[in-house]
Chains A and B, each alone.
Chain A
Amino acid sequence: MSGARGTAPAGTPRAARAGRSLASSLLVLILAVAGCAPHLVRVAEIAPALRAERYRLALAEREARGAAVDAQLLLWAEVPAASRLPGAEGRLLLAAPDAFRLRVGSLFGTALDLGARGDSLSAYVPSRRKGLTLDASRDSLGILRPGGLAFRALSAAWRPPDSAWPAADWRDTLLRVWWLEDADTLAVAVGSDGLPAWATLARPGGAGGQVTYRAWDRSTGTAWPALLDLEDRGGGFRLTCKVSRVRFPARPDSLRLTVPIPAGADRLTLAGLRRALERLGGL
Chain B
Amino acid sequence: MSPAATRRRAVVVLGVALALALASRAEATPPTGGLAATRTLVARLAAAGRGETAVTLTRSDPMGGPAQVERGRLALEPPDRVRLDFPGSGERIAVRGDGGEWVQPAARQMVRLKREQTARVAGLWEVFLRGGNERFAERVAGERRFVLEARESEEGLPERITVFLDARGLPVALEMDDWAGGGVRYAFKAWRFSRPSGARAFVLRPPSGFTVVDLP
Chain A interfacial positions (CB closer than 8 Å to B)? 72, 74, 82-91, 93, 101, 103-110, 113, 124, 126-129, 245, 253, 255-256, 260, 279, 281-282
On chain A, the residues within 8 Å of B109 by CB distance are 86-87
Contact A86 B178 (CB under 8 A): no
Q: Contact mask B1-24 → A, CB, 8 Å, 1/0? A: 011101110011000000000000
On chain A, the residues within 8 Å of B180 by CB distance are 103, 109-110, 113, 124, 126
On chain B, the residues within 8 Å of A245 by CB distance are 2
B216 at the interface (CB under 8 A from A): yes
Contact A109 B179 (CB under 8 A): yes
Contact B213 A105 (CB under 8 A): no
On chain B, the residues within 8 Å of A103 by CB distance are 4, 62-63, 180
Determine the distance from Cα of A127 to Cα of B214 in the docked complex, in whole angstroms.
Answer: 20
Contact A86 B107 (CB under 8 A): yes
Determine the distance from Cα of A90 to Cα of B121 in the docked complex, in whole angstroms.
Answer: 20
Contact A89 B4 (CB under 8 A): yes
Contact A83 B216 (CB under 8 A): yes
Contact B63 A91 (CB under 8 A): yes
Interface hub of A105, A107, A260 (most chain B Cβ within 10 A): A107
B120 at the interface (CB under 8 A from A): yes
On chain A, the residues within 8 Å of B201 by CB distance are none
* Interface SS, B side: mixed
Determine the distance from Cα of A282 to Cα of B213 in the docked complex, in whole angstroms.
Answer: 10
Contact A87 B216 (CB under 8 A): no
Q: Contact mask B137-179 → A, CB, 8 Å, 1/0? A: 0000000000000000101100000000000000000000011
B199 at the interface (CB under 8 A from A): no
Q: Which residue on chain B has the smallest CB distance to residue A129? A: B153
Q: How far is the CB of A250 from chain B (nearest CB, A)?
A: 13
Known: A109-B179, A110-B179, A124-B180. Is A89-B3 also a contact (CB below 8 A)? yes
We find that the number of chain B residues with CB closer than 8 angstroms to chain A is 33
Known: A91-B63, A110-B180, A129-B153. Is A86-B111 also a contact (CB below 8 A)? yes
Contact A91 B111 (CB under 8 A): no
Contact B106 A89 (CB under 8 A): yes
Determine the distance from Cα of A101 to Cα of B63 in the docked complex, in whole angstroms.
Answer: 9
Q: 26 pairs across A/B with beta carbons < 8 Å?
A: A72-B2, A83-B216, A87-B104, A87-B107, A87-B109, A87-B213, A89-B106, A91-B4, A103-B62, A104-B4, A105-B7, A106-B7, A106-B11, A107-B102, A107-B117, A108-B11, A108-B121, A108-B155, A109-B12, A109-B156, A110-B8, A110-B179, A245-B2, A255-B64, A260-B62, A282-B215
On chain A, the residues within 8 Å of B153 by CB distance are 129
Q: Top 5 A-B pairs ranked by shortest CB distance?
A: A87-B107, A110-B180, A126-B180, A126-B179, A256-B64
Determine the distance from Cα of A81 to Cα of B213 in the docked complex, in whole angstroms.
Answer: 16
On chain B, the residues within 8 Å of A90 by CB distance are 4
Determine the distance from Cα of A178 to Cα of B54 in the docked complex, in whole angstroms.
Answer: 58
On chain A, the residues within 8 Å of B120 by CB distance are 108
B181 at the interface (CB under 8 A from A): yes
Determine the distance from Cα of A255 to Cα of B181 in the docked complex, in whole angstroms.
Answer: 13
Q: Which residue on chain A has the smallest CB distance to residue B110? A: A86
Q: Which residue on chain B has the smallest CB distance to residue A76? A: B107
Contact A107 B111 (CB under 8 A): yes
On chain B, the residues within 8 Å of A87 by CB distance are 104, 107, 109, 213
Determine the distance from Cα of A85 to Cα of B107 in the docked complex, in whole angstroms.
Answer: 12
Determine the distance from Cα of A246 to Cα of B211 in the docked complex, in whole angstroms.
Answer: 25
On chain B, the residues within 8 Å of A253 by CB distance are 64
